[in-house]
A and B are shown apart, each in its own frame.
Chain A
Amino acid sequence: MSKRIDVKNLDIFYGAFHAVKSVSMTIEPRSVTAFIGPSGCGKSTVLRTLNRMHEVIPGAYVTGEVLMDEKNLYAKDTDPVDVRRQVGMVFQRPNPFPTMSIRENVLAGVRLNSSKLSKSASDELVEQSLQGANLWSEVKDRLDRPGSGLSGGQQQRLCIARAIAVQPEVILMDEPCSALDPISTLAIEDLINELKSEYTVVIVTHNMQQAARVSDRTGFFNLEATGMPGELVEMDETAKIFSNPSKPATEDYISGRFG
C-alpha cells in the first residue's frame, strides 16, 4: 500500500502565472518526506499536484510528469477522481463533514468509492481506520455523534482516519498541525511516525523542528523574489539538510536568517 513517486520537470501554472518552476524529485515509499520553505514558495502547490487537487482552481495546469510507480498521474487515461482515491490528503484545518457522525465521516470515502458496503464490513473499516489514526479508544463510545463535536486534534485524527479508510497508496498532509495546540500536534506527529510503516507520507510544514522530528527526507523550496516562480532548492536526507545542507540558501533558511 505504498508507492514511490517520481516528479519529473514539473512546472505549475495558474493561468498566466508561473507558480512553480521545474521540480524534479523522488519520494520514497514507506517514508516521510517533508517540504519546507518560506511562505509562497510553492510547497503546498507542489503537494497539491501530487493528487491533482490544484486542478480545483480554475485555470490551473501543469507541464511535466508525476509518476507513481512508473504510472503518470497526468496521463490522458488517468482520471483525477481515481488519482485522489489512491492519494489521500489531510488539510491545514481539520475538516470533518459537519452533517455527518464520526462513523459516517470515516466511511465517507469508502461510500463514495464502493457500490456495496455491508454492515460488518463498514464496522470493521470504521474500527481499523480509527485504530490506525489512534482515535478508536477516544471515540468508540460515541461513533454516532457529530464529528464536529470533537476537539481540534481529534478532528484532525478523524480526518486522517477518513483518509486511510480508503487505503490510499500515499497520504499528503498540508500543514496538518498548524491549527492545533502542542499536545495535539505531538499526537499527530506520533501518528505520522506510525503511518510510514504502511504508507508513503508527504508533509508540508512551516515548522522546521517538526520536519526534523518526523521526516526521513526533506525538500527545501524557495523563490528568488515575489512574483517569481518557486523552485525546489534541494532535497536530501533530513539529517543532512539540517546539519550540512549543500546550498547556501538552505543553510540561511535553516539557521533562521530569513523566512
Chain B
Amino acid sequence: MTATSAPEAQARPKRRPGDIVFGGLSTASAFSILLILAGVAIFLISEAVPVFGADPAEITGGEGFLSYVWPLVFGTLVASLVAMAVATPVAVGIALFVSHYAPTRVGTAVGFVIDLLAAVPSVVFGMWGFQVFAPKLVPLFIWLQEHLGFLPFFESASRTGRTLFTASLVLAVMILPIITAVSREVFLQTPTLHEEAALALGATKWEMIRTAVLPFGKPGVIGGTMLGLGRALGETMAVAIILSPGVFTWNLIDSGNTTVPAEIALNFPEAAGLRLSELIAAGLVLFGITLAVNLGARAIVNRRAEFSGAN
C-alpha cells in the first residue's frame, strides 16, 4: 500500500463527540462487511442444512446431493473454461491494440466501448444470445457434427443453437471486458525504459511486445483471466436464457447440460421445501468455487508488484 496515510504522528486532538461518532461509524461500517459475509455463509448453510440430513432418495435424481450437484458443477466448469479459453487471447489482443497499436485517442474511445460492454446487463446478453447469436451458430454446429462427429463433444448438432457451447461463447463476450481491462492496465504500465531497450536492440514492434510488454504483463493477464473465470462461473441469466438444459452429456453442441446458477434461476421461483434447500446448497457449492478462483486471482494480481521491474 502506498504511504498516503493520514498523519498518525500528529498530536491527537481531544476525543470530541464528533470524532467518536465519525470514527465509530467508520469502524462499524468496516466491521459490517465481516458481518455481511458471515451472514451470507451462515444463512446459506442454515437453509441448506436439510439437504444433508435428507434421505438420498428424496433428493432430485434420487441418489443424494452429490450426484445431483456434480453434473451441474461440471457444466458450470466446462462453460466457464471454454469461455475463458476463447476470451483470453481476444482480450489480450484488444488490450494490446488499445495500449500499443491504436493512437491514444482511439485507444481511449475503445476502452470506453469495452467498459460499456461490461455494463450491459446479463439478461440482455441472454436475449441477444438466444435470438440472434444462437441461430447463427447452427451451420457451424452442423459442420462440426459432420466433420468432427467422431469426437464425443460434437456427436449431434442442435437445430436451435441453444447449446452449452453457445452459452460459453456468450459468456466469453461477457468476460472479455474484465480480462481486457486488467490486461490493458498492466500493458500500459510497462516501463518505457524496457520498451525502448528492446526497440534500441533492433526489435520490431511485435518483438518489442514479446520481449518487454508480455513478460511484464503476464501476471496481470493471468489474474485478469481468473477474475473473468470467476465472473463466468457465477453468471446466471445468459446461460439460463440461452441454454436448453438437460441431463449431463459430453456433447457440447446440442441441448443438454446445465450450470449451477442457471439451475437455481430456472427452478427457484417454483421450488419449495427440500427442493429449495437443494438449490441453496447448490448455490453454496458455487460460492465455494468462485471464492477459490477469485482468491487465486487476487493473489496473482497482487503479486504483480513484486514481479515488476520498475526500479
Contact = CB atoms under 8 A, between A and B. Distances in A.
Interface of A: 51, 53, 56, 58, 81-86, 88-89, 91, 93-100, 108-109, 112-113, 148, 159, 162-163, 166
A81 B193 contact: no
B311 interface: yes
Given A58-B103, A97-B211, A112-B211, A166 B202 contact: yes
B202 A82 contact: yes
Interface in B174-208: 191, 193-204, 207
A117 to B, nearest CB: 14
B309 interface: yes
A159 B311 contact: no
Nearest to A55: B199
A160 B226 CA distance: 39
B197 A159 contact: yes
Contacts of B212: 97
Given A88-B201, A93-B193, A98-B309, 5 more contacts: A58-B104, A96-B197, A108-B198, A112-B198, A162-B197
Nearest to A52: B199
Interface in B208-230: 211-212, 215-216, 218
A223 to B, nearest CB: 24
Contacts of B104: 58
B294 interface: no
Contacts of A95: 191, 193-194, 196-197
A126 to B, nearest CB: 15
Chain B interface secondary structure, helix, strand, loop or mixed?
Answer: helix
A163 B198 CA distance: 10
Given A56-B196, A91-B196, A108-B211, A98 B203 contact: no
Contacts of A51: 200
B308 interface: yes
Nearest to B103: A58
A49 to B, nearest CB: 13
Chain B contact patch, size range: 20 to 34
Given A97-B211, A108-B211, A85 B193 contact: no
A97 B215 contact: yes
Given A97-B212, A112-B211, A84 B194 contact: no
B201 A109 contact: yes
Contacts of B195: 56
Q: Which of B193, B199, B202 has the most CB of A within 10 A?
A: B202
A166 B103 CA distance: 31
Count chain A CB atoms within 10 A of each CB in B198, B200, B201, B212 and give the residue with the most.
Answer: B200
A57 B113 CA distance: 26
A97 B201 CA distance: 12
A36 B257 CA distance: 72
B207 A84 contact: no
A148 B201 contact: no
Contact of A97 (B194, B308, B311): B194
26 contacts: A51-B200, A56-B196, A58-B103, A85-B201, A88-B200, A89-B200, A93-B193, A94-B311, A95-B191, A95-B193, A95-B196, A96-B197, A97-B215, A98-B215, A99-B307, A108-B198, A108-B211, A109-B201, A112-B198, A112-B201, A112-B202, A112-B203, A148-B309, A148-B311, A162-B201, A163-B201
B204 A99 contact: no
Nearest to A83: B202
A98 B195 CA distance: 12
B103 A85 contact: no
Nearest to B218: A99
A58 B103 CA distance: 8
A167 to B, nearest CB: 11
A200 to B, nearest CB: 16
B311 A91 contact: no
A83 B191 CA distance: 23
Contacts of A83: 202
A230 B200 CA distance: 24
A137 to B, nearest CB: 24
A82 B309 CA distance: 27
Contact of A98 (B199, B207, B216): B216
A163 B200 CA distance: 8
A113 B308 contact: no
Given A53-B196, A98-B216, A99-B216, A93 B201 contact: no
Given A112-B207, A159-B197, A98 B308 contact: yes
Task: Report the 5 A-B pairs with minimum CB-CB distance, sorted nearest first.
Answer: A98-B309, A85-B202, A109-B201, A89-B200, A99-B215
Given A58-B104, A108-B211, A148-B311, A91 B204 contact: no
Interface string B286-311: 00000000000000000000011101
A76 B176 CA distance: 40
Q: Which of A56, A96, A112, A162 has the most CB of B within 10 A?
A: A112
